[in-house]
């Protein structure tokens, strides 16, 4: 059975939390190519400004990464959205600015998948909470979710849903059906050992998500993923139940010393031992087109 492996190369963490993550265009391209050769069919990336070490959502940087990887390997490569919190989400022009890079990439034919997170959640580690620290709120107002889905419909991009909480799944399924021409989403169940959102990476949690998915969006593709998490214990269960997997330094526990290609290679081995095999990008596209 072909199993989709997604590699999330870096995330929003900066090297303070993930010292091995790629920052420059050249590093992201090299990591993406190596991950594709190790078994990943899907690459997810955040663009950075190497001078500051901070995320920089410049469509030209994203284009260089996407085109650089695709010039070498046939793989799905898709960008993130700017992280937004608190009142920033409701400032004039915030909606347009947040999706500016996505829209620019779509106009250039470079948007194959797109991030759409159908809900808002509190982000705090267990350690922060124990110290009485407030954490932050990851905001995705309804207008932002609908803008992402409308762009997905406009450009034929597959919405990649990060499901932090069960309500994300329920709302996301309804909204996707409400947007004419929107491709059906991929549901990525977000687990964590370190953060306090949602579920830990446990079999009972996967059971709960799958029962909800069967009710809200039956037959939809799904994968196990998360933040600050080791999803390897769920790999065999995901394969056995017809799901897919995501690995990489965006999702891995902070300070992981293993690089992205090795994480993908290890996951490919776990998939094979569970009776699956890494899917190609062509197989992923074919499965989505046949829905």
The DSSP output letter for 132 is T
Q: Do residues 216 and 169 lie in contact, with contact meaning Cβ atoms separated by under 8 Å?
A: yes
What SS3 state is found at 76? strand
Q: Decide if pLDDT at 83 tops 90.
A: no
Could you give the dihedral angle defined by the CA atoms of residues 8, 14, 20 and 24, in that order, rounded to the nearest 10 degrees? Answer: 80
Instruction: List, in order of start, the domains of the chain with CATH numbers.
Output: 2-289 (3.20.20.70)
pLDDT over threshold 80, residue 90: no
Record the pTM: 0.96
CA nearest to 222, candidates 173, 259, 155, 150? 173
- Which band of pLDDT confidence, cut at 50, 70 and 90, is reported for residue 261? very high
Residue 87 has pLDDT above 80, yes or no: no
Residue 92 banded pLDDT, cuts 50, 70, 90? confident
pLDDT at position 288 = 96
In this prediction, residue 85 carries a pLDDT of: 74
Mean pLDDT of all residues in the chain? 96
Question: Mind listing the pLDDT tens digit for each residue in 178-202?
Answer: 999 999 999 999 999 999 999 999 9
Q: What is the pLDDT of residues 4-48, one digit of tens each?
A: 999 999 999 999 999 999 999 999 999 999 999 999 999 999 999
Query: In DSSP terms, which residues pair with 189 in a beta bridge?
Result: 163, 224
pLDDT digits (tens, 9 = 90+) for 127-156: 999 999 999 999 999 999 999 999 999 999
């Amino acid at each position: 059975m072909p199993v989709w492996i997604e590699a999330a190369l870096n995330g929003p963490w900066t090297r303070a939390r993930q010292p091995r993550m790629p920052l420059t265009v050249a590093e992201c391209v090299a990591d993406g190519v190596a991950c594709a050769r190790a078994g990943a069919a899907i690459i997810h990336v955040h663009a950075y400004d190497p001078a500051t070490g901070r995320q920089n959502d410049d469509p030209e940087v994203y284009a260089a990464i996407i085109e650089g990887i695709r010039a070498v390997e046939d793989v799905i490569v898709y960008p993130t959205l700017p992280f937004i919190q608190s009142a920033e989400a409701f400032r004039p022009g915030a909606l347009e600015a947040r999706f500016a890079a996505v829209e620019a990439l779509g106009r250039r034919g470079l948007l194959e998948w797109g991030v759409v997170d159908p809900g808002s959640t509190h982000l705090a580690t267990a350690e922060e909470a124990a110290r009485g620290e407030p954490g932050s709120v990851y905001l995705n107002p309804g207008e932002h979710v609908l803008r992402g889905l409308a762009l997905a419909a406009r450009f034929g991009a597959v919405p990649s849903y990060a499901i932090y909480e069960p309500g994300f799944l329920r709302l996301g399924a309804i909204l996707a059906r409400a947007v004419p021409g929107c491709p059906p989403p991929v549901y990525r169940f977000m687990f964590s050992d370190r953060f306090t959102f949602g579920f830990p990476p446990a079999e009972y949690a996967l059971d709960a998500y799958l029962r909800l998915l069967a009710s809200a969006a039956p037959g939809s593709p799904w994968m196990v993923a998360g933040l600050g998490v080791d999803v390897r214990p769920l790999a065999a269960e995901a394969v056995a139940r017809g799901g897919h997997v995501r690995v990489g330094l965006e999702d891995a526990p902070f300070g992981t010393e293993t690089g992205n290609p090795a994480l993908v290679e290890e996951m490919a081995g776990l998939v094979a031992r569970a009776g699956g095999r890494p899917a190609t990008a062509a197989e992923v596209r074919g499965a989505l087109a046949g829905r």
